[in-house]
Amino acid sequence: MIFAQNQFSGTVKNQETGEAVFSASVYFPKLEKGSTTDIDGHFTIKNLPAGNYKLIVSSIGFTSYSKDVSIPASEIQLVLKPSAVEMEEVIVSTPFHQLQSENVMRVERESVSELNKKGAVTLADGISQIAGVENLSTGVGIGKPVIRGLSSNRVLTYTQGVRMENQQFGGEHGLGISSKGIGSVEVIKGPASLLYGSDAIGGVLYLNPEQYASAGETKAEFNGDYFSNTLGYQASAMAKTSGEKLKFIARGSLAEHSDYKTGDGQRVTNTRFNEKDLKTGIAYQNEKFKSDLRYNFNRSELGIPEEIGTQTTSKTLVLPYQQIDNHILSADNTVYFANSSLNAKFGYQFNNRKEFEDHHHHEEEDGEEHDHDEEDDHGHEGEHSEEGEDLHPALDMELETFNYNIKYNLPKLGKFETIAGIQGMWQDNRNTGEEILIPDAKTVDFGVFATTHLHLSLWDFQAGLRYDTRTID
């Protein structure tokens, strides 16, 4: 059977019994297109570009299988071997989008839904449950991953396919992204400079966004979580719909938590936090071109703990606290040629970090004379809580970042797959508050790299070269 408009179909069967395998995943990683088999083991994938691509077939209870396929093609019959070993998943954070067994570096992959089932309050808390990853935290709301003893700017975070820049150098600066709307997490432990630049000396945290609905499907979802320790909640609503070429997704989330309680029953004062998050995306794909446009807005208001004080379950913010707004706009575009492809990712981010302090409290510490009793102090504190939006922040930092990552996947030469590309970033840091953590500066990064992968029956080899420059003004 010959397929018009590059449609690819076939069946998946059990290698030992010859029976059809139901609900098996048939997926082209580089095209990010796939399907699942029906009750008869049959599948169909439409609107595929011509060329040679790796096909991944997987199902629970079977060994994952990969095969090179030329499009267009006749109907194909695939077989899976039963296995008690958990099926492998495709790794997105590595350049060739392959199964873990075909990668030269170890990548830990976990679905966010599984991490949430283990009681994770925040994304950073959930990631710390991955083997070899710790959480450097200040309270519950502020946290960042630690890999092999390194954290902050030594562990890069990628979301929506672009490098995340939101002032993670400080101890009170967390990830700044909600777990809602994140599909899975991939952690590269150890140096990954060849792929991501010299800053990735500790590793890379790669956040894969929630996937669109399958072609012809429309889905809606609402879920909520309650946490007894912080007496907090998370609520999230999602809707997504997909046609053969056009796809859309949107998710809004809200979270509020009071001070968390320690093992001895005391609450750690001012560890309360709240978060608002919006993620949306629209994608288009035909036989020659694919584009995915995504936007994420996150506002986090986080108390800054100083000492154990008033014991309360209030969720109202008190001084000192920080308010962080983060906007991320990304575009992931791919053009397909006969046996190669060009991928261009562009990202724009705007991060605004404000810290509000109790100036009255600091003046008392400096020995200045004030005649406020404890009752006035509590009234003063409540006033800040209610009118915090009108306060002048002591720290007000604006970080604007534009980054790009352009890669050309060369035609496959025998068993060699090769990628060459450029990466870069333009960044502007501005201070408008009284306090300055880092001075105003403009940073320009540029890197050029090439990497090749050799896949043999028992061995895999990868080699590459990279050159980077950075200028700071």
Q: Kindly report, residue by residue over 262-314, the tens digit of the pLDDT.
A: 888 899 888 899 999 999 999 998 888 999 999 999 999 998 888 888 888 88
User: Is 356 domain-assigned?
Assistant: no
Give domain status of residue 7, yes or no. yes
394 in any annotated domain: no
CB-CB contact of 260 with 128 (8 Å)? no
pLDDT in tens, 303-351: 888 888 888 888 888 889 999 999 999 999 999 988 889 999 999 999 9
* Number of residues assigned to the chain: 473
Q: Give the residue among 142, 131, 153 at the shortest CA–CA distance from 203.
A: 153
The total number of structural domains in the chain stands at 1
| Rounded-to-integer distance, Cα 299 and Cα 412, Å | 44
* DSSP run (H or E) holding 277: strand 273-285
Across 29-74, where does the E strand assignment appear? 33-36, 42-45, 51-58, 65-71
Q: How confident is the model at residue 365 (pLDDT cuts 50, 70, 90)?
A: very low
Structural domain contains residue 134:
no
Quickly state the pLDDT bin for 373 (edges 50, 70, 90): very low
Alpha helices in 112-244 (DSSP H): 112-117, 123-127, 193-196
Taking alpha carbons only, the member of 242, 251, 168, 245 closest to residue 209 is: 251
Statement: residue 378 has pLDDT above 80: no
SS (H, E, C) 420-462: EEEEEEEEEEEECCCECCCCCEEEEEEEEEEEEEEECCCCEEE
Percent of the chain scoring above 90 in pLDDT:
34
Residue 402: CA count within 13 A, CB half-sphere: 3
Asked if the structure places residue 225 within a domain, the reply is no
Which residue do the tokens 């006035």 mark?
Answer: 376
Within a 10 A sphere around the Cβ of 386, how many other Cβ atoms?
10
Is the pLDDT reported for residue 231 higher than 70? yes
244: Cβ contacts below 8 Å, ≥ 6 apart: 46, 47, 215, 216
Residue pLDDT, tens place only, 120-178: 788 888 888 888 788 877 777 788 788 877 777 778 889 999 998 888 776 677 788 88
377, part of any domain: no
The CA distance from 312 to 267, in Å, is 8
pLDDT at residue 100 in the model: 73
* Residue-by-residue DSSP string for 357-393: --HHHHHHHTT------HHHHHHHHHHHHHSGGGSPP
pLDDT, tens only, 48-104: 888 888 888 988 888 888 888 888 888 889 998 888 666 667 777 777 766 777 777
* Domain assignment of residue 43, given as a range: 1-88
In-domain check, residue 27: yes
Q: Kindly state whether residue 387 falls inside one of the protein's structural domains.
A: no
Query: Residue 463 CB: number of other CB atoms within 10 A?
Result: 11
Domain CATH code at residue 80 = 2.60.40.1120
Can you tell me whether residue 50 is helix, strand or coil?
coil
